[in-house]
Amino acid sequence: MRFLVDGMLGGLARWLRILGQEVRYDSNANDNDLLRIAHQENMILLTRDQELYRRAIARKITSTLVLGETEEERLAQMASTFGIVLDADMAETKCPECGSDLKDTRKNDLVDEVPLASLKLYNQFWKCTDLNCGKVYWVGSHWKQMRHTLEEARKLTRLPR
């Protein structure tokens, strides 16, 4: 699925990329830009803005009004609406910063980019394939918090409505 995410949902954009979805996010895009891009590129528009949502639906653009206040609630809504699996697999994950693909990268190639302590502690690293971004990721301490968030979101999807 390809998502276009409005400027109020930067956190959700990052999460959807982590979950392997193709996501376009530009915090400077105005409502007219978003409607045009969603229409031209046939993307699903995710928004917090009721007015924008109504305009999208009126133009037959697939759109979802994101209701939750927390990342967990929003992720649960994505899971129930689009069937997105709430589990991160580094083989599928896209760069949270820019949405490009990540590539498995050898430690030896990252000595200038990753702190030595992390190179010693971890064995697998992934680098963003977009040369302008080039961010490097590894399953470090923040990963525990991410797994916790996904677990909480999964619990919400199991609650009776």
| The three-state (H, E, C) secondary structure of the chain, written as one string | CEEEECCCCHHHHHHHHHCCCEEEECCCCCHHHHHHHHHHHCCEEEECCHHHHHHHHHCCCCEEECCCCCHHHHHHHHHHHHCCCCCCCCCCCECCCCCCEEEEECHHHHCCCCCHHHHHHCCCEEEECCCCCCCEEECCCHHHHHHHHHHHHHHHHHCCC
Shortest Cβ 95–Zn ion spacing (Å): 3
Question: What does the alpha-carbon distance between residue 136 and residue 125 come to, in Å, rounded to a whole number?
Answer: 7
Site pattern 72..101 for Zn ion (x: CB under 5 A): -----------------------x-xx-x-
Q: How many residues bind Zn ion (CB under 5 A)?
A: 7
Which lies closer to Zn ion via its Cβ, residue 65 or residue 139? Answer: 139
112-151 residues in contact with Zn ion (CB under 5 A) are: 128, 130, 133
Q: Is 22 in the site for Zn ion (CB under 5 A)?
A: no
Residue 124 C-beta: closest distance to Zn ion, Å: 17
Report, in Å, the least distance between residue 159 CB and Zn ion. 34
* Contact pattern from residue 28 through residue 67 relative to Zn ion, giving x for each residue in contact according to CB under 5 A and a dash for the rest: ----------------------------------------
* Residues at the contact surface with Zn ion, assessed by CB under 5 A: 95, 97-98, 100, 128, 130, 133
